[in-house]
Amino acid sequence: MALSRSNWRSRSESVVIPLAALMVALVLFGIFCMFGGKNPFAVYAAIFKTAFGSWNAFQGTLLRAAPLMLTALCTALPARLGLMVIGNEGALVLGGLGAAAVGLILSYGSITPNPAQLQTTLGLAPTVVQIGMALGGIIAGGIWIAIVGALRHYRAVNETISSLLMNYIAIALLNHLVEGPWKDPASLNKPSTFPIPELYRLGNIGSTRIHYGLIYGLLACAIAYFLIQHTTFGFAARTAGGNVKAARIAGLPVGKLTIIICFLAGSCAGLAGMVEVAAVQGQANASIVAGYGYAGILVAFIARYNALAAAVVAILLGGIINSGGALQRSFGMPDATVLVFQGLVFLVVLYSESLYGRFKIFKEPEIPIAPPPVPSAAVPV
């Protein structure tokens, strides 16, 4: 009888509390807007309208959600192991560089093709080049975060600080490459790599303006969820995340788990970089550093490291980011407004962590359990 109890109450707790936190953050943001002399309700309305108000607006939201889903996994996966990796931005940049390099090599035979090579492509099928670019992004981003995991395991280097430092190193590497060895001489104002030929870029889904990156994001979230919740590998990872010592005693290869999970995490963010290069920019340049990495950390936190929830939260946050432009245009608010809002959401969500288990409503009612029929003689004194 006790076994058949459903746990809908504790499940609803993990939905209601983050939603309430979002609401509180919205109210705080409204107060912040009021101090700036803006009508908070007009601001809310503008955010809603530009984020979810029409199919066209929603497409823009989904476009921004796609990379967020992927970068969120970069924090969410290692978090199941108890690691706080925030190298999302760096892995995204590395993934973008990797994808651009592979894409150019498969298109022209060289990362810096000479004018003669630029005339004709090698003639590979678009699918081949696209798969190559995706692999380039996945491997480059994966190795980048796997380094963080290896440093954590072998040298006990704090993964938060090392991954954050590696973000800066990755951006420096990007700037170095696009302004130096990999530069397209034709890109004057905005140094970039050579562009990937139109033919090989990621197209849009049907007649929408949403590119296939959204499918990548949704698939990655679904796969990550399945991997963590329904496989022995995921079970091992969650065990090690719960108690490293117990996992070691049980004979789990903690080091291998750490490095593999970090590789997978980085490869997701790397794929986001590939999407930015192959679908949005068409080439690697400083524009791929657009803050998706840091916003991805927030998505992972709000989703409580659940990959499926991350997909939903990414759409919500994508909407907020999407509305940033409108806030700037119609209210004259600086573009950092969105950053302030993200910070507020983050802080309130963190506070809400301390509320779990504090409300009686979410507790399962105590069903009086009948005492066992046989007086327990099995318990040794």
> Scanning residues 276 to 295, which ones bind another protein (CB under 8 A)?
294
Shortest distance, position 46 Cβ to another protein, whole Å: 17
Span interacting with another protein, options 8-16, 226-234, 297-305, 315-323, rule CB under 8 A: 297-305
Q: Which of 16, 27, 173, 244 binds another protein (CB under 8 A)?
A: 173
Closest to 78 measured CA to CA, from 379, 314, 296, 317: 296
Q: Which is nearer to another protein, 194 or 301 (CB)?
A: 301
* Torsion sign across C-alpha atoms 154, 155, 156, 159: negative
- Tell me how far, at minimum, the Cβ of 132 lies from another protein, in Å: 27
Q: Which is nearer to another protein, 65 or 298 (CB)?
A: 298
Q: What span, in angstroms and rounded, lies between the C-alpha atoms of 96 and 93?
A: 5
Which CB atom, from 168 or from 235, has the smaller least distance to another protein? 168
Out of 189, 354, 367, 377, the only residue in the binding site for another protein (CB under 8 A) is: 354
187 sits near another protein (criterion: CB under 8 A): no
Least separation, in Å, of the C-beta of 130 and another protein? 29
Which of 37, 115, 123, 180 forms a contact with another protein (CB under 8 A)? 180
From 13-21, 240-248, 256-264, 346-354, give the range in contact with another protein by CB under 8 A: 346-354
Residues 65-124 that bind another protein (CB under 8 A): 84, 86
What does the binding site for another protein look like in residue numbers (CB under 8 A)? 84, 86, 151, 153-158, 160-162, 164-169, 172-173, 175-176, 179-180, 294, 297-298, 301, 333-344, 346-347, 350-351, 353-354, 356
